[in-house]
Structure 1
């Protein structure tokens, strides 16, 4: 199942089931056709990096920010070669952004670098409206121990982004792991569901997303999804508030 998350408000906007003998590459264009995305920045992981998907996003009058990995081998190698030396060079205003994130016992340092120089990437001409190349270099310090290796994440975009804008967009995309995976599993016990008959699993996935959206929209009770579920079970007035209040 491929789903779309509006990161700013944490709402699932749509979903599309993948074919039995296919994968997300065929489902993503179908899902994009269902959505009004004009003026939005669409972020997708490396699975959604084919040129056809980039064309589809642009045709819907939106911009793309796509993770770049080895499945686009030639472009990846050229971007890696271009941005690698930038780590040790002075960067112009807006092309470098650094931040540190503190969460409980974990500290993560991130350095974001962007470039709009298309002249050194011959493969860029084959991509629609490709404007920006980006890399995020990070390492973690957890419980006093520093990770031994740097983590490099590469991106391509049709939008002209500063390094700070890239960092913010990448953070929002990483929130999908929490908003689309962790919360349904913990709050809705999705991974424990054994419904398989006909299209029932697809229907139940949609029901969970609707329920998740309604629970997250209800803000009078300042607790997590699981706590809101338990309150709705015990209190019919609160259940009606979750279902009907705008």
Structure 2
């Protein structure tokens, strides 16, 4: 059993059950425990979860909290559709945040860094399900999703980002985001709460982008610019990154909390063909040069994309999320929340290859129970 601040099975017991007592056959906590354990073993849908519950015998069934047989797929469909997704998300978000809060900082990552980004549940969207674009907050280092909020479409992320930020602890933490969410009010909200930000700047902030571009094309007299360079070789590519920081706009720009601006240059060479690709992007951060060297800023910029590699990609490839066409009620978001929790739990337990971890647990389901805090005695 991994040393979680609070076992996940206890969190499941706190989820309110909206069902009436009459005719209620299975405890909600047992159903959620079953769902999480089945996903830990690689189940991708609520029908697969129902099948998993019948595969391992009565001992595991009783350990999960069932007094009868485990529920069928239609029962899971009904319960997931009626579950209060906001409360469910909030309870699991508190658990994930407590895991982050109890994880010691490292010299390389003195503050907790969190990425904010959106993902569309494409299969459910095709079926006309509401709220299929989810805006999530993801802890870079641990790989846990701290919260997610359903939005009408990607363009509505700007409207909902304030809601998402209000659901998490910002004080003493760094929030990273791409250019779509680089907005004055968002920056103000973060610094007012005692947090910091690292934001990319593109055409949606034309004046800010022009000011930063000028700093690095025509450096002001006396401007002390610092740089870092990294080279990565792998996957048939040679990728060179250069990040340069400047404090020239401090006191000139009225961007909330601005402490440094930066330029990131990427030069990618495909070894097989020799083709080259060059990209330059700009950004702003509230972290001062004393708190964040160019190397630290670059690590935060690169770390932002962990939400794509460690969460979105795994949900699509390992758990087949984009092909899932569930569309009724709250089911799409409930299933996404369970996937997030499963992935976060496996990363917290030290697994880096989620697909391999699921295969291992499918052969040893008792370990899946241990991960959520159930001590199994046969």
TM-score (norm 2): 0.58
Which residue does 1:215 correspond to in 2?
A: 346
SS at match of 2:264: strand
1:71 aligns with 2:204: yes
Deviations 1:95-124 (A, max 9, x none): 1111101223221001110000126x95x1
Against the structure 1 CA distance between its residues 146 and 153, is the aligned structure 2 distance closer, same or farther, given a 3 Å change threshold?
farther
Q: 1:168 aligns with which of 293, 299, 303?
A: 299
Which residue does 1:23 correspond to in 2?
A: 156
Deviation at 1:162, TM superposition (A): 2.2
Which residue does 1:3 correspond to in 2?
A: 136
Deviation at 1:9, TM superposition (A): 1.1
Deviations 1:80-102 (A, max 9, x none): 1221346xxxx95x711111012
- The CA distance in 1 between the partners of 2:170 and 2:233, in whole Å, is 33
SS at match of 1:32: helix
1:233 aligns with 2:355: no
Flag the structure with larger Rg.
2
SS at match of 2:204: helix
Deviations 1:205-233 (A, max 9, x none): 111101111122223xx662112222222
Which residue does 1:96 correspond to in 2?
A: 227
Against the structure 1 CA distance between its residues 21 and 159, is the aligned structure 2 distance closer, same or farther, given a 3 Å change threshold?
closer
SS at match of 1:24: helix
Which residue does 2:166 correspond to in 1?
A: 33
Deviation at 1:145, TM superposition (A): 4.1
Against the structure 1 CA distance between its residues 145 and 132, is the aligned structure 2 distance closer, same or farther, given a 3 Å change threshold?
farther
- The CA distance in 1 between the partners of 2:333 and 2:171, in whole Å, is 27
SS at match of 1:150: strand
Query: Which structure has more RCO (C-alpha within 8 Å, separation ≥ 6)?
Result: 2
Against the structure 1 CA distance between its residues 242 and 28, is the aligned structure 2 distance closer, same or farther, given a 3 Å change threshold?
same
- The CA distance in 1 between the partners of 2:215 and 2:154, in whole Å, is 37
Which residue does 2:280 correspond to in 1?
A: 152
- The CA distance in 2 between the partners of 1:213 and 1:145, in whole Å, is 38
Contact 1:134 1:154 survives alignment (8 Å)? yes
Which residue does 2:372 correspond to in 1?
A: 243
Deviation at 1:236, TM superposition (A): 2.0
Count of aligned residue pairs for this structure pair? 237
Which residue does 2:35 correspond to in 1?
A: none
Unaligned runs of 5+ in 1: none
Which residue does 1:194 correspond to in 2?
A: 325
Which residue does 1:14 correspond to in 2?
A: 147
Q: 1:106 aligns with which of 237, 241, 250?
A: 237
| RMSD, aligned α-carbons | 2.4
Unaligned runs of 5+ in 2: 1-133
Against the structure 1 CA distance between its residues 20 and 6, is the aligned structure 2 distance closer, same or farther, given a 3 Å change threshold?
closer
Higher share in strand = 1
- The CA distance in 1 between the partners of 2:144 and 2:190, in whole Å, is 20
Which residue does 1:134 correspond to in 2?
A: 262
- The CA distance in 2 between the partners of 1:175 and 1:19, in whole Å, is 24
Deviation at 1:22, TM superposition (A): 5.6
Contact 1:184 1:208 survives alignment (8 Å)? yes
